[in-house]
Amino acid sequence: MKASLLLALVCTAVLAAGARADTPREPETLVRKVQEYAQKASAVAKSALSMVQESEAAQLARRWLAENADLAKQRLVWLKEKVEELWKRTPAM
């Protein structure tokens, strides 16, 4: 989703820069404007991403995952053992 948003912003910047260009003889101006828009869009995207990563909800989610990873591993081991027992009990046809 981040890449598609950035691509949409760059495409919009290209269209806007093209509409602003006074003459078709100024490709350097168009390139410079597109680069500026792309840099601004990238900075905004990075800022938004860092805000999300630093949010309290993200921190709580990371903490919860870290605390419950061992429990999940234990349950997977238990489930594997139960499946193996069931597999051994099932008669071969």
Span 10-38, average pLDDT? 73
pLDDT digits (tens, 9 = 90+) for 67-88: 888 888 999 999 999 999 988 8
For 90, phi and psi rounded to 5 degrees? -70, 125
The Cα 29–Cα 86 span in angstroms is: 71
Place of tokens 């995207």: 45
pTM value is: 0.40
